[in-house]
Chain A
Amino acid sequence: MDFEEIKKDEEEIELVEEGSGDEARDKIKKLKEELGECRKKAEEYLAGWQRAKADFINSRKDEEKEREAMVRFANKKLLYELLSVKDSMEMALERAEEIDKSFAGGLNQILSLLSQIMRGCGVSETEALGQRFNPEEHESMEEEEVSEAEKDQVILEVVQKGYKIHDRVLRPAKVKVGIYKQT
């Protein structure tokens, strides 16, 4: 029932009230019920409207947060891909040092340029060697028996360096872990 109708009915009430009697009481009762229904609907719509508005504001806030995270981690994929370049350059450097010191020096400088860029993007190397194995940062590739109990689950060798971007793991360090065997 819309408001036009209510208005018309209200006019009728006045007319009926003059006549009074059961008919009028019925009419009033009916109208009260209808009014109640209308109020309920109005409340429901208002609540829905408020909720929609709140949803909108909240999703805008969430979006803002997501955008921030996106900016922080936007280069994640590229930086991850660059790690394989960095790995290879480090290997090249190792070999170069055996062959030509001066050339190795230049290569080392190129490598630090790359490292500097990556540091600027929030990339840092994960500590691994000598640490206790922690799957949050490390990935185990091999186990090696150790005779000292304190070396159990300790990283003996870093097979491939691990990196973090801000507080997230960019690539886990691939490591060799000690396992204690009593001799």
Chain B
Amino acid sequence: MTKILGIDLGTTNSAMAAIEAGEPVIIENTEGNRTTPSVVAISKPGDRLVGLLAKRQAVTNPKNTVFSVKRLIGRKFSDEEVQKDKKLIPYDIRESANGGVEVKMTASLGEEKWYRPEEVSAMILSKLKADAEAKLGAKIDEAIITVPAYFDDSQRKATKDAGEIAGFKVRRILNEPTAAALAYGFNKKKNEQIVVYDFGGGTFDVSVLEVGDDVIEVKATDGDTHLGGDDFDQRIISWVIEEFKKESGIDVSKDTLALQRLKEAAEKAKHELSSTPETEINVPFITSDSSGPRHLLLKLGRAKLENLVKDYLDRSIEITDRAVKAAGFAMADIDEIILVGGQTRMPAMVEAVKKLFGKEPNKSINPDEVVAAGAAVEAGILQGDVKDVLLLDVTPLSLGIETLGGVSTKIIERNTTVPVSRSQVFSTAADSQTSVEIHVLQGEREMASDNKTLGRFILDGIAPAPRGLPQIEVSFDIDANGILSVKAKDKATQKEQSIRIEASSGLSKDEVEKMKKDAEIHASEDRKKKELVEAKNSADALVYTAEKTIKDAGDKMSESEKKPVEEAIAKLKKIKDESQQASEIKQATDELSSALSKAGEALYKNAKDQPKDNPGNPGADKEKTDKEARDVDHEDL
């Protein structure tokens, strides 16, 4: 079965994705990038270039480098939009015989050739097809291509033609906002209203969608075809040039290298401000004058950037507001908002959208890739990738057992795909312990008492041994029906005991959500509790080792050598029982640990003096026990 390729054929950049193992995966192009510039050129020597390569020669070959052809596809030459764009684009366009648009590219020998926009788009699609085939190692004949929701029949038809010229059988022309909604799985949300806020590199689109029984209906669209992230970059660059001029009196706007470095620095600053409140635009040796070299160093904060682009932000919010009203909805009617386009990473933009709707917008899927991913989801539905019988579930919550000190130790983490088996080896917490209780738990909390008990059983008949020595293998197995089997086996005696829990996923969706939320809310206090228990556990283990070392050493150690260790033991025991601070216990543990290594050194020295009677290496012994104590430990019975 061949795959159907999902393609986001954008104005500035395009992306593609396919379904792999039921999930949409973005496919990199041959240059190793996840997006491809939607640029086509005939180079001076006459080669056809597509994507990044076309972009790299655009400056010196403007007449033969075609970008933003999406603005022209399927339109009449007489369209107001086309006439407006004609003034902005450096390449030549003319009216075709049937009233459409034609784009000129000149081959090397000066031979002029006029292309329909769909032919130019087809060149981009051909590259994507070839790159995807190379990457996936299979021929791809079918595609789903996305278009803006406002595209009319003729624009859709032309896009479909572009796909066919590129050699695809176009299975569907999908609306971009619908694709975004599909990527988030919102097609399953019946009777909900969704707003898709798409702030791309060069265009801004808002769509209001309604999810019906089987279809996602577009209720309204609005936007600005000449508003995008590139405008933000331009504002930063202009501001920097202006500031530098004020400071130095030098205009760098005509200096190619200076401008290039400035552009890179501005873009970097913009990206950085999405995650930090302030950044520096730092371009040393940007230029020079009679007084020597000049450097550019400017601080740019979020507030300043927001100020520079405030009118753009406000405009996008105004347009969004207008679109929702045009769809006949109030802001409160909107159930979900999806952010699309790289510029939506800007915190102020997220805030502005959040303020307008009074709720958090969806932004967990990469906004540059969400449309392509959604197209792949649609492809997956069409090619019927996921058979009912093979729909694999995941465990909604983590499963584990209770270990020493009431800690919940996870064996199967949440979101693990089932069927699955996992096992871990535990041990006893006390000397000569002959049985352990296996307390099976479900939930994300760190302490056993906060999680849900699924069952308990006792494994007995363990051969008496010092703590930490017996090896008890606990295995969890969840079958495809969600039935959990827990088995505990003593590796020495081969004795085993098990339990079967049918209702391991019997929780309702709300209960699962509540448990997850509880875990989030209590995360930090739970961690503290766990740290305390862990500190006590390792203190216990060290006390045990220290006492044993001293006992084993017998008269090989003098009383004066033993004394500091005994004192440290007494101190740690006291603190361990009284303190509620993990750090205090840890400190006392460290003290005992260093006292113990000093005693160990002495023991070594004594052994060297009497080489025939080697008492062993207490340092190594300590390390071993410590390690065991960590992944071992069981509830005392």
Binding site for B on A (CB under 8 A): 48, 52, 55, 59, 73, 84, 87-88, 91-92, 95, 133, 135-136, 138-143, 152-153, 159-160, 168-169, 172, 174, 177, 179
Residues in B neighbouring A152, C-beta threshold 8 A = 44
A62 and B145 CA atoms in complex are apart in Å by: 27
**Interface flags, B242-271, vs A, CB<8A=1, else 0:** 000000000000001100110011000000
> Of B57-65, B186-194, B205-213, B569-577, which stretch is located at the interface?
B57-65
CB atoms of B284 and A88 under 8 A apart: yes
Tell me whether B292 is interfacial, beta carbon within 8 Å.
Answer: yes
Residues in B neighbouring A160, C-beta threshold 8 A = 257, 260-261
CB atoms of B59 and A141 under 8 A apart: yes
Partner of B257, one of A84, A138, A169, A174: A174
> Of B48-56, B220-228, B624-632, which stretch is located at the interface?
B48-56
Residues in B neighbouring A52, C-beta threshold 8 A = 390
CB atoms of A142 and B256 under 8 A apart: yes
From DSSP, what is the main secondary structure of chain A's interface residues? Answer: mixed
Residues in A neighbouring B283, C-beta threshold 8 A = 88
Within 8 A of A (CB), among B455-469: none
Tell me whether B32 is interfacial, beta carbon within 8 Å.
Answer: yes
Residues in A neighbouring B257, C-beta threshold 8 A = 141, 159-160, 174
CB atoms of A91 and B260 under 8 A apart: no
Residues in B neighbouring A95, C-beta threshold 8 A = 285, 288, 292-293
Q: Given A95-B285, A159-B260, A168-B32, A140 and B21 touching (CB < 8 A)?
A: no
14 pairs, A vs B, C-beta closer than 8 Å: A48-B389, A48-B390, A91-B285, A95-B292, A135-B43, A139-B57, A140-B57, A140-B60, A141-B257, A142-B60, A159-B256, A168-B31, A174-B257, A174-B260
Q: Given A92-B285, A135-B49, A135-B57, A153 and B256 touching (CB < 8 A)?
A: no
Tell me whether B45 is interfacial, beta carbon within 8 Å.
Answer: yes
Q: Given A135-B43, A177-B60, A91 and B293 touching (CB < 8 A)?
A: yes
**Interface flags, B466-491, vs A, CB<8A=1, else 0:** 00000000000000000000000000
Chain B residue nearest to A133 (CB atoms) is: B57
CB atoms of B53 and A136 under 8 A apart: yes
**Interface flags, B380-399, vs A, CB<8A=1, else 0:** 00000001011000000000
Q: How far is the CB of A107 from chain B (nearest CB, A)?
A: 13
From DSSP, what is the main secondary structure of chain B's interface residues? Answer: mixed
Residues in B neighbouring A92, C-beta threshold 8 A = 284-285, 293
Residues in B neighbouring A55, C-beta threshold 8 A = 21
Q: How far is the CB of B357 from chain A (nearest CB, A)?
A: 34
CB atoms of A88 and B285 under 8 A apart: yes
> Interface size bucket, B side?
20 to 34
Chain A residue nearest to B21 (CB atoms) is: A55
A139 and B61 CA atoms in complex are apart in Å by: 11
Most chain-B Cβ atoms within 10 A of its Cβ — which of A48, A91, A153, A169? A91
Residues in A neighbouring B60, C-beta threshold 8 A = 140-143, 177, 179
Q: How far is the CB of A67 from chain B (nearest CB, A)?
A: 15
Partner of B56, one of A138, A143, A179: A138
**Interface flags, B560-585, vs A, CB<8A=1, else 0:** 00000000000000000000000000
A135 and B47 CA atoms in complex are apart in Å by: 11
Residues in A neighbouring B390, C-beta threshold 8 A = 48, 52
A140 and B264 CA atoms in complex are apart in Å by: 16
Chain B residue nearest to A141 (CB atoms) is: B256
Partner of A84, one of B21, B56, B261, B389: B261
A168 and B31 CA atoms in complex are apart in Å by: 8
A95 and B289 CA atoms in complex are apart in Å by: 12
Chain A residue nearest to B257 (CB atoms) is: A159
Q: How far is the CB of A8 from chain B (nearest CB, A)?
A: 24
A52 and B264 CA atoms in complex are apart in Å by: 46
CB atoms of B56 and A140 under 8 A apart: yes
Q: Given A92-B285, A136-B53, A153-B44, A84 and B32 touching (CB < 8 A)?
A: no
A51 and B257 CA atoms in complex are apart in Å by: 55
A55 and B20 CA atoms in complex are apart in Å by: 10
Q: How far is the CB of B186 from chain A (nearest CB, A)?
A: 28
CB atoms of B260 and A59 under 8 A apart: no
User: Given contacts A88-B284, A160-B260, A179-B60, could you give 4 more A-B pairs where the C-beta distance is less than 8 Å?
Assistant: A48-B389, A55-B21, A141-B256, A159-B260
Q: How far is the CB of A91 from chain B (nearest CB, A)?
A: 4
A171 and B32 CA atoms in complex are apart in Å by: 13
A160 and B285 CA atoms in complex are apart in Å by: 13
A160 and B283 CA atoms in complex are apart in Å by: 14
Residues in B neighbouring A73, C-beta threshold 8 A = 32
Q: How far is the CB of B498 from chain A (nearest CB, A)?
A: 25
Residues in A neighbouring B49, C-beta threshold 8 A = 135
Q: How far is the CB of B285 from chain A (nearest CB, A)?
A: 4
A136 and B283 CA atoms in complex are apart in Å by: 27
Chain B residue nearest to A142 (CB atoms) is: B256
CB atoms of A153 and B45 under 8 A apart: yes
Most chain-A Cβ atoms within 10 A of its Cβ — which of B257, B283, B292? B257
CB atoms of B261 and A140 under 8 A apart: no
CB atoms of A140 and B293 under 8 A apart: no
Q: How far is the CB of A167 from chain B (nearest CB, A)?
A: 10
A84 and B260 CA atoms in complex are apart in Å by: 12
Q: How far is the CB of A170 from chain B (nearest CB, A)?
A: 11
Residues in A neighbouring B57, C-beta threshold 8 A = 133, 135, 139-140
**Interface flags, B288-307, vs A, CB<8A=1, else 0:** 10001100000000000000
CB atoms of B54 and A135 under 8 A apart: yes
Partner of B59, one of A48, A59, A140: A140
Residues in B neighbouring A136, C-beta threshold 8 A = 53
A87 and B56 CA atoms in complex are apart in Å by: 20
A59 and B137 CA atoms in complex are apart in Å by: 13
Q: Given A135-B53, A153-B44, A140 and B61 touching (CB < 8 A)?
A: yes
A140 and B59 CA atoms in complex are apart in Å by: 6
A69 and B593 CA atoms in complex are apart in Å by: 44
Residues in A neighbouring B285, C-beta threshold 8 A = 88, 91-92, 95
